[in-house]
């Protein structure tokens, strides 16, 4: 078979057996690629179209201009969701970055059992967001979770009821999200720390840099390309966060932990306002692009500089 293929190709005349022999490759690569591209593009376009129509329960044609957008942007639901996104997004990204970096630095000290610890810290990533959300909703539930445990230990004045506290509930999502994804940041940072030339660290030792100065002046500055990548990936998650919030607080108490994806879901499937839901979805896409486009530009510039150097 292989021989037949190579002979045919060499002769410059692709024969049937050539195509048949490569059929599995074509099927494996092109079919999924076309399917997913078609899904992504066609449904994005579909959603954009819907957002300009007066659709409610079912899609209808028609043109309402930006009416859906103004309605969504004016709604209290969206405003709270957007404020929450700013708070959740920045707190989550910053804290998971710091947690991941700290874990990576600690793991990088040539400690025993590093492999086990690394797996433990990475493991939450393998858990579905719904599971994370559900488990944390139990843990944070004052009646059955951590507060109850501490009460049962005898410390009855202990209060940890952020889950049902209007002002603090958003932080429970931050906590659960950090638990879930700081392992990812850790893995990337650890790879970055490991790629620092050992001679550089030796040189810094001879120069007399203590551990603090060594990290601050020599090692951490080399990590910033990784930091940008981690921030972008985490922001992407923050912007499109749905399942975690749905399982943990479902936007509550009230609409205190509303996030854009929940607003979309709410509008589309619970209030039967397809047009407005689509408009909210397009707004989410724009927020996402506001993160991804600068990142793509940055990557492009970096690559060009690397090409010149």
Which residues of the chain form contacts with other proteins (CB under 8 A)? 197, 199-200, 202-210, 213, 217-218, 221-222, 309
CB of 206 to other proteins, least distance (A): 5
- Compare residues 79 and 227 and give the one whose CB is closer to other proteins: 227
CB of 194 to other proteins, least distance (A): 15
DSSP characters over the chain: -HHHHHHHHHHT---HHHHHHHHHHHHHHHHHHHHHHHHHHHHHHHHHHHTTS--SSS------TTHHHHHHHHSHHHHHHHHHHHHHHHHHHHHHHHHHHHHHHHHTTT-TTHHHHHHHHHGGGGS-HHHHHHHHHHHH-TTTSHHHHHHHTT-TT----GGG-TTTHHHHHHHHHHHHHHHHHHHHHHHHHHTS-HHHHHHHHHHT--HHHIIIIIIGGGGHHHHHHHHHHHHHHHHH--HHHHHHTTT-STTTT--HHHHHHIIIIIS--HHHHHHHHHHHHHHHHHHHHHHHHHHHHHHHHHHH-
CB of 265 to other proteins, least distance (A): 44
- Compare residues 219 and 281 and give the one whose CB is closer to other proteins: 219
- Compare residues 6 and 205 and give the one whose CB is closer to other proteins: 205
- Compare residues 223 and 280 and give the one whose CB is closer to other proteins: 223
- Compare residues 119 and 205 and give the one whose CB is closer to other proteins: 205
CB of 217 to other proteins, least distance (A): 7
CB of 226 to other proteins, least distance (A): 13
């Amino acid at each position: 078979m292989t021989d037949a293929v190579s002979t045919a190709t060499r002769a410059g005349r692709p024969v049937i057996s050539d195509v048949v022999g490569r059929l599995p490759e074509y099927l494996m690569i092109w079919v999924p690629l076309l399917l997913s591209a078609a899904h992504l593009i066609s449904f994005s376009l579909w959603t954009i179209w819907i957002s300009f129509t007066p659709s409610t329960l079912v899609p209808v044609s028609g043109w309402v201009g930006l009416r859906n957008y103004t309605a969504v942007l004016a709604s209290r639901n969206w405003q709270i969701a957007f404020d929450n996104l700013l708070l959740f997004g920045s707190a989550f990204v910053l804290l998971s970055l710091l947690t991941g970096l700290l874990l990576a630095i600690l793991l990088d000290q040539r400690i025993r059992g590093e492999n086990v610890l690394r797996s433990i810290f990475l493991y939450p990533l393998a858990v579905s967001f719904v599971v994370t959300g559900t488990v944390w909703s139990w843990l944070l539930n004052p009646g059955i979770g951590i507060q109850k445990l501490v009460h049962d230990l005898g410390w009855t004045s202990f209060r940890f009821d952020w889950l049902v506290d209007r002002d603090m509930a958003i932080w429970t999502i931050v906590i659960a999200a950090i638990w879930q994804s700081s392992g990812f940041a850790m893995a990337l940072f650890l790879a970055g720390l490991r790629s620092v030339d050992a001679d550089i660290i030796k040189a810094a030792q001879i120069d007399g840099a203590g551990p603090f100065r060594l990290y601050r002046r020599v090692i951490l500055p080399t990590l910033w390309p990784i930091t940008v990548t981690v921030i972008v990936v985490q922001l992407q998650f923050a912007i499109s966060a749905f399942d975690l919030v749905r399982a943990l607080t479902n936007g509550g108490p009230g609409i205190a932990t509303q996030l854009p994806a929940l607003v979309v879901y709410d509008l589309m499937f619970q209030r039967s306002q397809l047009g407005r839901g689509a408009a909210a979805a397009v707004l989410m896409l724009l927020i996402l692009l506001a993160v991804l486009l600068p990142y793509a530009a940055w990557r492009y510039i970096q690559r060009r500089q690397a090409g010149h150097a």
